[in-house]
Structure 1
Amino acid sequence: MFVEVPAPVAAIAPPAARRAPLLARILRAAPPYLYLAPGLALLVIWTYRPLVQTAQLSFYSWNLLPTSPMVPAGTDNYEQLLGAPELGNAVWNTILVIAGLLPFTIVIPVVVALLTRQVGGPARELYRALIFAPMLVAPVASAAVWQWLLDPGSGAVNRLLGVNVNWLHETVPAQISIIGITGWHLLGFAVLLVSAGLAGISDDYSAAAQLDGASRWQITRWVTLPLLSPTLVFLALMTVLLGAQWTFPLIDTLTQGGPSGATTHIYYLLWDYGFHSHQAGLGAAAGVIFFTAFGVVALFLVWLADRISFHDD
């Protein structure tokens, strides 16, 4: 005699009933993604779509005129770019710019922030406003003022230093001028970041070190700076990846890449190919190569930052 065993509820439930719990889970999980959807859509439209178009354009020859057809060029743009002598010069100038900006974004901000960390009351707000003010000045406007200050005949810089230097039309002075003006712009922002990092360090560490007989320099060297390392690594990362971009408006306004290519870095070279020489395919190839190179550099720096940063847990 056989006994009939009832089938499981899930087996005999209609398909719509089985789909209901899955649909409910999807609806519960959807709100965060819906909030992110507008930002992700804009990121795709304004970042990833132009990046794909740039990669496609790098395999064509085109002079940017709507009436001219885009001619397939294969890998000719990449071969021409990698064989161009100005590429090596632009890469070297980029390295010089980054190395010259690091003192303005790390060394000087740390010194200034340490020396002024005891400033309090209304003087603190005045100090922050004064130190941050250059960051608010438009680069083109500041370039016009600096062009007057650096004038070889009647400029205030030559008079103050007692020299006769043509700052914007000599190779080394032009490089120094671009780096110095850009550093002047960025100094206040870096000082505020370092000050914020110092404010997040507990005074208990310094007090404990003082009880052990540590001097002020020893506390700074072995306590404060290691705890400040995440902020300093972030500033170094930003300088390496964006330093050359920060100098672009000043170069375009003051030197136009000269004299003799002394201030032409990779971003200005890319712009020159695309919008001055009207070689859109060559400019796109340069953009793809520079994007890939900086992507590799960014990955390495992020990996290195995880290894050398000291976090207060």
Structure 2
Amino acid sequence: MTSLGTVPDTAARRPARAARERRRLSRKHREWLAAALFLAPDCIGLLLFVGIPMLLSIFLGFFQVSGFGSYRWVGLGNYERMMSDPLFWDAMRITAIYVVVLVPVLFAVSLGLGLLVKQKLPAVGAFRTALFLPYVISLVVVGLLWKFLLDDQVGAVSGAIEDAGLGHHSWLGEPSLALASLIAVTVWVMMGYYMVIFLAGLQEIPQEFYEAAKIDGAGPWRTFRSITWPLLRPTSFFVLLMSTVAALTGGLDLIFVLTSGGPANGTSLAIFYIYQQAFIFGEYGYASALGSFLVLIMVLVSAVVFRVTRGGRFDDGE
């Protein structure tokens, strides 16, 4: 005969189990509620200031919109106009050059600075602050500062290069030099931000790995290639993706202050051309279509970057 003490699920135990289950579900619901309350401000902000404007921009791309409030349905007319707009495709070409040059240079400079400030150097805290400071300064102020420094008549940079015997150059007056100057200023502004991200990733690497490499007699390059770079790949993926997106969609403030898209449209990136169409020529519908196309390009480029790096794990050929 089986005793009452050995019965696995008696009538007396069922209410206790039900009470525990109710408490577990109640705790889970409270956790979900707390998470929803924390996420709600960001989600509402994204919906109001990103989601809805983006949907309106896509919608406006099918209309001809003037600055006086008149709307006329044109269907794919704005996109057909875009396909035959040589100035837009020239802006896309300049944007491609800008992205292809800026992203690798910014990546390399930021990584190098991250490795540098990780070292135990004198006054390294002040050095980190000085490098990060340009990122928190208004881009308009940065643009005005560099416009003065690069001025071919009174600029300190132009004067120093000329005194060094490297000739006189109009850094903002020649199309090729103006684009190079814009890239250099952008790197100067953004390198501190990505340096901090790389520094955070470097500090997550266990110190024991470096100690073991030192015991094995590995040099700095071997240590970097075998330890630092593989363990830094998720951070590298984030920097690569974010800098690419920023290069495709940012830079308007600097362009506006430094060159206004000139000379000869040499620095007229796609984002600046869209700004001109909307706020200078009043072509809001056409600008919306161009913006939607640029967002599509950004999504495709991000997908390619994500695919190539396999979601943060660079392909080793394995």
TM range (shorter): 0.7 to 0.9
Identity between Structure 1 and Structure 2 (%): 27
Distance apart, 1:58 and its partner CA: 0.8
The equivalent of 1:191 in structure 2 is 195
Q: Which runs of 5+ in 1 are unaligned?
A: 1-19
Quick check: 1:160 aligned with 2:160? yes
CA gap of 1:198–1:27, structure 2 versus 1, over 3 A, is closer
Give the counterpart of 2:180 among 173, 176, 180: 176
TM value normalised by structure 2? 0.83
Aligned residue pairs, count: 287
- Give, in whole Å, the separation in 1 of the partners of 2:36 and 2:79: 39
Distance apart, 1:36 and its partner CA: 3.0
- Give, in whole Å, the separation in 1 of the partners of 2:85 and 2:27: 57
Quick check: 1:70 aligned with 2:74? no
Give the counterpart of 1:46 among 35, 46, 49: 49
The equivalent of 1:61 in structure 2 is 64
- Give, in whole Å, the separation in 1 of the partners of 2:29 and 2:150: 63
- Give, in whole Å, the separation in 1 of the partners of 2:234 and 2:29: 39
Aligned AA (2:48): I
The equivalent of 1:273 in structure 2 is 277
- Give, in whole Å, the separation in 1 of the partners of 2:156 and 2:37: 57
The equivalent of 2:7 in structure 1 is none
The equivalent of 1:237 in structure 2 is 241
Quick check: 1:129 aligned with 2:129? yes
- Give, in whole Å, the separation in 2 of the partners of 1:231 and 1:33: 28
Greater CA drift, 34-43 or 285-294: 34-43
TM value normalised by structure 1? 0.84
Greater CA drift, 207-216 or 189-198: 207-216
The equivalent of 2:8 in structure 1 is none
Distance apart, 1:30 and its partner CA: 4.3
Distance apart, 1:305 and its partner CA: 3.0
Aligned AA (1:189): Y
Is the CA contact 1:104–1:184 (under 8 Å) kept in the aligned structure 2? no
Aligned AA (2:115): L
CA gap of 1:126–1:30, structure 2 versus 1, over 3 A, is closer
Greater CA drift, 37-46 or 237-246: 37-46
Structure 1 runs of 4+ off > 4 angstroms?
23-31
CA gap of 1:39–1:133, structure 2 versus 1, over 3 A, is closer
Quick check: 1:255 aligned with 2:256? no
Is the CA contact 2:210–2:227 (under 8 Å) kept in the aligned structure 1? yes
Report the RMSD for the aligned CA atoms in angstroms: 2.4
Deviation sequence 1:96-129 (CA, Å, 0-9, x none): 22223224431122223323422257x1221111
Distance apart, 1:213 and its partner CA: 3.0
Distance apart, 1:34 and its partner CA: 4.3
Distance apart, 1:147 and its partner CA: 1.4
Is the CA contact 2:61–2:289 (under 8 Å) kept in the aligned structure 1? yes
Aligned AA (2:89): G
Is the CA contact 1:104–1:186 (under 8 Å) kept in the aligned structure 2? no
Q: Which runs of 5+ in 2 are unaligned?
A: 1-21
Is the CA contact 1:58–1:284 (under 8 Å) kept in the aligned structure 2? yes
Is the CA contact 1:104–1:187 (under 8 Å) kept in the aligned structure 2? no
Deviation sequence 1:122-161 (CA, Å, 0-9, x none): x122111111111122111121121111111121112111
Distance apart, 1:237 and its partner CA: 0.7
Correspondence 1:137-156 to 2 at 5 A: 137-156=137-156
Distance apart, 1:35 and its partner CA: 4.0
Deviation sequence 1:227-277 (CA, Å, 0-9, x none): 112112211111111114332101111211111111111111111111111
Deviation sequence 1:2-22 (CA, Å, 0-9, x none): xxxxxxxxxxxxxxxxxx9xx
